[in-house]
A = this chain, B = another copy of it.
Amino acid sequence: MRTITIKPAAITHNLNQVKKFAPETKVLAMVKANAYGHGVAAVLPALQQANGVGVATLIEALEARQLGWDKTIALIEGAFTVDEWRQAIEHDISCVIHHAPQLTWALEHTPPVHCATRVVWLKYNTGMNRLGFNADGVIVAAQRLHEAGYQLILTTHFANADDQTHPLNAMQIQRFNDMLSTLQETVSADVQGSLCNSAGIVNFPTHHHDWVRPGIMLYGSTPVIDQSAYELDLQAAMEFSAQIIALQTVNAGEGIGYGSRWLAQQDTRTALVSVGYGDGYPRVIADKTYVTVIDTINHQSYPCTVIGRVAMDMIVIDVSNVPEGTALNSKVILWGNAPRVDEVATHAGTISYELLCRLSLRPQRLQG
């Protein structure tokens, strides 16, 4: 059985770690993309100490509301259409405003006084060049929104916050801080600021402003290139596992799987594991990628290398180091405490975020 086990206690622990980095700051916990693949229904109860949640689509926002989240919900790309803007008002969703059409909708359709949509996350493009107004545009937008009765949170997004040494960071921070001061002086002293994602929370502790926006940290992966999840004391919020469904000995000289990619140098005891890219395990991985086998008989853990090509429904692992008595149906951990998803992602040439998000429907989902 392929199984994804979500650990709410780990998420709560990780939120507390965020609060250690940013004790004075409100927390917008990112639960977009189905809570980075963890399942928003499983994750929200673990985030009760957050001040709000961030989502990428109106559907995700409505889902969080429907699940009973009654605090801030921020739609981080804003409404895509004027109809979505109207629905945001109806359901008390706060929106990012990042380009002219959204500004128009906000000015033409003002929410009631106590509606949460009165809070606007105004996006300033400080160097990511994806979403946001430029400097002139953001000042005009802030002025007009303020006059229309909106409360403003100036926000931007780092392009390279994972790498503390990247020169763009200082430039983005400078632009953001300058603009925030400008708006506070020229528009309203009440304009708030939100600059930091997970990487910014760790790397730029003096620039947290009013709201931080942790994402990947909450799920137990490291957001920075120079510190591991262990070093940041983040706990894995997901365990992805499967089981051994057959054992075999492959003779020296024989290949395994598609493309006969792996060739046995000696007679090798192998195990077939019921998981593949059809479940979300990445198809292209480095030769040293390992899984952890939990022997059903002695309950010991054994790191075992994945050999041959990952297929849609199965992988083969080398169980040479596992005692001969290893039983059929032993649990196999693809990622969790060991290996961490960060390690698997490195072996797959990507980042943990992608592995977590691209899980398929097939694995059964549990909470543990």
Q: Contact residues of A with B, CB < 8 Å? A: 1, 32-34, 36-37, 56-57, 59-60, 76-77, 80-81, 98-99, 101, 127-131, 159-160, 168, 243, 245-248, 250, 254-260, 270, 272, 274, 276-280, 283-284, 308, 311-314, 316, 328-329, 349-351, 353-354, 357-362
Residues in B whose Cβ lies below 8 Å from that of A313 = 32-33, 56-57, 76-77
What are 13 residue pairs bridging A and B, where the CB atoms are less than 8 Å apart in the complex? Answer: A33-B276, A33-B278, A33-B279, A33-B312, A36-B278, A57-B313, A60-B362, A80-B245, A99-B248, A129-B270, A312-B357, A349-B349, A357-B360
Give the top 8 A-B pairs by smallest Cβ distance, nearest first.
A33-B278, A56-B313, A358-B358, A278-B357, A283-B354, A129-B256, A277-B354, A99-B246
A328 near B129 with CB under 8 A, answer no
A246 near B131 with CB under 8 A, answer yes
A361 near B358 with CB under 8 A, answer no
The verdict on A255 contacting B168 (CB below 8 Å), with A77-B274, A284-B349, A350-B284 known, is yes
The verdict on A80 contacting B329 (CB below 8 Å), with A255-B129, A313-B32 known, is yes
Residues in B whose Cβ lies below 8 Å from that of A254 = 127, 129
What number of copies of this chain does the assembly contain? 2
B255 near A127 with CB under 8 A, answer yes
Residues in B whose Cβ lies below 8 Å from that of A354 = 277, 283
B360 near A328 with CB under 8 A, answer no
Using CB atoms, name the residue of chain B closest to A79.
Answer: B245
Residues in B whose Cβ lies below 8 Å from that of A312 = 32-33, 36, 56, 353, 357
A14 → chain B, closest Cβ, in Å?
Answer: 18
Q: Pick from B130, B245, B258, B360: contact of A160, CB below 8 A.
A: B258
A81 near B34 with CB under 8 A, answer no
Question: How far apart sit A160 and B309, CA to CA, in the bound complex (Å)?
Answer: 12
Residues in B whose Cβ lies below 8 Å from that of A34 = 278, 360-362
Residues in B whose Cβ lies below 8 Å from that of A247 = 99
Q: Pick from B60, B351, B361: contact of A283, CB below 8 A.
A: B351
Q: Pick from B32, B56, B159: contact of A255, CB below 8 A.
A: B159
Residues in B whose Cβ lies below 8 Å from that of A308 = 130
A277 near B358 with CB under 8 A, answer yes
The verdict on A359 contacting B360 (CB below 8 Å), with A80-B274, A168-B255 known, is yes
The verdict on A314 contacting B257 (CB below 8 Å), with A278-B33, A357-B278, A358-B277 known, is no
Question: How far apart sit A272 and B360, CA to CA, in the bound complex (Å)?
Answer: 26
Question: How far apart sit A280 and B280, CA to CA, in the bound complex (Å)?
Answer: 10
A159 near B258 with CB under 8 A, answer yes
